[in-house]
Amino acid sequence: MPGSKYLSCRCAPNTFTANVTPLLNRLSEESIEALRDAHLLPLFRMPTIPQNIPILYVLLRLYNKDKQAFQLGKYLVKMTVNEVALILGLPNAGLRFKFSRSPVVDMTHKILTEEIHRAADEDGSHHDEGIRISMLINYLLAMFFFPLKSLKVPSCVTKITCLPEFLKYNLSLAIHEFLHLQFDHLSRVSAIRNAGSNIGSLEGCTTVLLVIRKFWNVLDEQKVLLCEEDDDSDFETPPPRKKKKG
């Protein structure tokens, strides 16, 4: 099975959690409850995600851009918006969030992280609760949901300035679309390279989390061999799971 050298993966959930934890600790119980009610608290307290790079590499090489799905053996497996919503705990409803690749010129991941640290320090006591929550949300959007290869912050992220604003949007749909932008790019890269070459860079914690969570069960339940040779048969959807007796 291919090794990790074939896939660059910039995902550091442990670093993400380490950066936001001090600021979370400065929030009041009321603010913590608000984040919990919005299903965001588990994301800010994300444990280390096991990154099985060889598995990710094979899965991403099996992505079919035209079908927007992964071909596992003879099965066609899609990542749906509802699955994104269920895995991340976000609603699949609300206003359409228009993602833009245009970055904020003077805002990078490094600067955003430095601001998070400043707000968590004693010297940052002038930041009120609303500003702290806003910074956490912007950090989540820029570093976890919509990371850019340039390590700059997407301009669309700065439009969400508070928790009520965040809850207005259907971010599950936006994240789903962003994932397929990445998958499409990696499929184009791999299509013009040899099987033993690097297929590109996988950005952000969200992609790793969703791909692993989605396919771990599929691989276990359907017993699909990733190394199986592609055949000429039509794509099929996996058979429904059989309910266990008792």
Q: How many Å apart are CA 40 and CA 44, to the nearest integer?
A: 7
Mean pLDDT of 78-90: 89
DSSP string of 196-246, one letter each residue: TS---EEESHHHHHHHHHHHHHHHHHH---TTPPP-SSPPBPPPPPPPPP-
Each residue's pLDDT tens digit, 126-138: 568 888 899 999 9
27 DSSP 8-state letter: S
- In sign, the C-alpha dihedral spanning 207, 38, 150, 96 is positive
Q: Which residue has the higher pLDDT, 206 or 198?
A: 206
Whole-model pTM: value is 0.77
Largest CA distance in the chain: 64
Across 91-110, b (16+ Cβ under 10 Å) vs e yields ebebeebebeeebbeebbbe
Residue ranges per domain, the chain? Answer: 4-222
Mean pLDDT score, 104-126: 80
Q: Is pLDDT larger for residue 187 or for residue 238?
A: 187
pLDDT tens per residue across span 53-73: 666 677 777 788 888 888 877
CB burial of residue 223 (10 Å; 0-12, 13-18, 19+): exposed
